[in-house]
Amino acid sequence: MRAVLYSTFGGPIEVENVLDPTPARAGVVIKVEATGLCRSDWHGWMGHDPDITLPQVPGHELAGTVIACGAEVRNWSEGARVTLPFVCGCGKCPQCAGGNHQVCDNQFQPGFTGWGSFAEYVAVDYADENLVAVPEGMSATTAAALGCRFVTAFRALINQGRLAAGEWVAVHGCGGVGLSAVMIAAAAVAHVVAVDVRARALELARELGAVQTLNASPVSGRPENSGTSSVGEAVRELSGGGADLSIDALGHPETCVNSVLSLRKRGRHVQVGLLLADQSRPAVPMDRVVAWELEILGSHGMQAYRYPALLRMVEAGSVDPGRLISRTISLSEAPLALAAMDRFEYDGITMIDRIS
């Protein structure tokens, strides 16, 4: 099969011919119909993830058709159209037993613990616990757009963040995760303040339901279009006292701190964007956390069994993940696109939907 492969961290990324995968006893092989480029794939290529063993095929948000099943698979058969969370739980460890497959002790992650979906075919383990049927009529690109960014935003807001109608939500970083969060929060009848440094990203956020936008590009030490001295102050002003819930959807020390400082008293910060390598220990303003009784939460994907709630919103038309797809490319274009992800040249989601 054809697959995107890298053999050194930060080194060349090539499309090569490699052996077709075979299913594990509890796994399946999926013919990939669409797969998204995510900044987590860039972090993996850069060597920021200790689970990766070289050489590696990246890619972890996908949709496709099952073409082979392992001997222990009971719930799936060849021909099923499926998608899956980017964290696949084993179904047997204490975390999975408690319903928290997203932090499984023995998790399988395509593109990280195993070869991923930037390929014609991908082998996925723990199939019975993790595969999700793609609804009839849903395109492969829309199904792939669900995860990881859309499902990550959904769980961060709804499950971890406990979002309620009428609350103010600040979204820091309007890439794929951030724009997903804007759309979901707006559908949940929340008031969204979207924060970014790119005018086009903020334009998209407003189109997707943000009621306020803030350009965080500094002008004389202040955010653009703001009379306040910091992003946190500007968000608190725009939201009439501060956000009830704020998420860092980018993953940077500055956006993490800005998110915490955007909150009103007893507000909730959810860290979604990855903070890795030399950025993994940001200077969080714990004096504010204590004095204002703020909550600091992490969020890491979503379990397969929670997909139906999200799919109902998609089928009802209240959210549309397909709107986040900004461009489609071929597998042969993926190496250059992956290497350029740290430059944030494109808004929304870039999707691989063809081999050549």
Q: Say if residue 289 is in the same domain as residue 307.
A: no
CA-based Rg of the chain, rounded to a whole angstrom? 20
Task: Write out the residue range of the structural domain in which residue 226 sits.
Answer: 162-298
Q: Is the pLDDT of residue 74 over 70?
A: yes
Task: Classify residue 115: in a domain, yes or no.
Answer: yes
Task: Classify residue 285: in a domain, yes or no.
Answer: yes
Task: Classify residue 154: in a domain, yes or no.
Answer: no
Per-residue model confidence as pLDDT tens digits over 47-56: 998 989 999 9
Task: Classify residue 157: in a domain, yes or no.
Answer: no
What is residue 222's predicted lDDT score, i.e. its pLDDT?
A: 62
What is residue 148's predicted lDDT score, i.e. its pLDDT?
A: 83
Q: Is the pLDDT of residue 227 over 80?
A: no
Q: Is the pLDDT of residue 134 over 90?
A: yes
What is residue 348's predicted lDDT score, i.e. its pLDDT?
A: 77
CA 129-136-356 angle, 5° bins: 85
Backbone angles phi, psi at 83, to 5 degrees: -135, -175
Q: Say if residue 43 is in the same domain as residue 180.
A: no
Q: What is the pTM of this model?
A: 0.89
Mean pLDDT (the chain) is 93
Per-residue model confidence as pLDDT tens digits over 240-291: 999 999 999 999 999 999 999 999 999 999 999 877 677 778 888 999 999 9
* Lowest mean pLDDT across 80-84, 134-138, 145-149: 145-149
Q: Say if residue 214 is in the same domain as residue 344.
A: no
Q: Say if residue 293 is in the same domain as residue 308.
A: no
* Lowest mean pLDDT across 44-48, 109-113, 216-220, 295-299: 216-220
Per-residue model confidence as pLDDT tens digits over 173-191: 998 899 999 999 999 999 9
- CATH code at position 262: 3.40.50.720
Helix (H, G, I), strand (E, B) or coil at 269: strand
Q: Which two tokens stand for residue 114?
A: 């195993």
What is residue 35's predicted lDDT score, i.e. its pLDDT?
A: 97
Long-range contacts of 196-203 (CB under 8 A, 24+ apart): 196/172, 198/174, 198/344, 198/347, 200/347, 201/174, 201/175, 201/347, 202/174
d(CA 274, CA 267): 21
Mark which of 260, 282, 298 sits at the end of a domain: 298
Mean pLDDT of 122-137: 97
Q: Say if residue 283 is in the same domain as residue 315.
A: no
13 vs 222, higher pLDDT: 13
Q: Is the pLDDT of residue 231 over 90?
A: yes
> 221 to each of 159, 218, 248, how far by Cα in Å?
36, 5, 21
AA identity, residue 25: R
- Please give the share of the chain, as a percent, with pLDDT higher than 70: 97
Task: Classify residue 44: in a domain, yes or no.
Answer: yes
| Predicted confidence band of residue 346 (pLDDT cuts 50, 70, 90) | confident
Q: Is the pLDDT of residue 324 over 70?
A: yes
Task: Classify residue 36: in a domain, yes or no.
Answer: yes
Per-residue model confidence as pLDDT tens digits over 97-113: 999 999 999 999 999 99
Mark which of 272, 298, 324 sits at the end of a domain: 298
What is residue 220's predicted lDDT score, i.e. its pLDDT?
A: 44
194 vs 221, higher pLDDT: 194
What is residue 299's predicted lDDT score, i.e. its pLDDT?
A: 95
d(CA 222, CA 231): 8
Provide the domain count of the chain.
2
Which residue's entry shows tokens 């956006």? Answer: 255
Q: Say if residue 279 is in the same domain as residue 336.
A: no
- CATH code at position 41: 3.90.180.10
Per-residue model confidence as pLDDT tens digits over 236-248: 999 999 999 999 9
Q: Say if residue 6 is in the same domain as residue 141.
A: yes
Q: Say if residue 178 is in the same domain as residue 252.
A: yes
Q: Is the pLDDT of residue 71 over 70?
A: yes
Mean pLDDT of 119-133: 98
| Predicted confidence band of residue 229 (pLDDT cuts 50, 70, 90) | low
What is residue 343's predicted lDDT score, i.e. its pLDDT?
A: 79
